[in-house]
Amino acid sequence: MGWFSKQDKDFFLATVVPDAATGGPGIAEWLGVVHGEAVIGANIFRDMFSSVRDVVGGRAGGYERALSGARDAAVADLIATARELGADGAVGIDFDYEVLGETNGMMMVCVSGTAVKLVR
């Protein structure tokens, strides 16, 4: 069902709109667009070690962990907003990433999708 789909604690997330005919859950009701955002600041130590990684190669683990945390927070925000509408799923979700701030010192993760009630 697409590159990202998961079901956790009675809540379904998918980047595609599932089709009951192909084994996915059916959509009983469309509730509206929902979103979640998280902004994280890059600190001086993470920046320093990242610049070393840029020179010697390799992965910037500090940034990866921070970005993963921001992504999880944005998804949690989306789920909370969808649940307020009575949803038990969000489909067609999309992730966006931006660098913010005067010195590009912050990263923003946004996730949006459509809140739905699934056929039970």
CA angle, corner 39, sides to 33 and 40, nearest 5?
150
96/35 Cα distance (integer angstroms): 11
Q: If one looks up domain 5-118 in CATH, what number appears?
A: 3.30.110.70
Residue 118 phi, psi dihedral angles, 5° rounding: -90, 155
Residue 10 in contact with residue 87, Cβ under 8 Å?
Answer: no
Q: What is the pLDDT of residues 51-107, one digit of tens each?
A: 554 445 566 666 777 788 889 999 999 999 999 999 999 999 999 998 887 776 788
Mean pLDDT, range 41-53, rounded to an integer: 53
Q: Can you give the pTM of this predicted structure?
A: 0.76
- The H-or-E segment that residue 73 falls in is helix 61-84
Q: What's the whole-number average pLDDT of the chain? A: 79
Residue 40 has pLDDT above 60, yes or no: yes
The residue ranges of every structural domain in the chain are 5-118
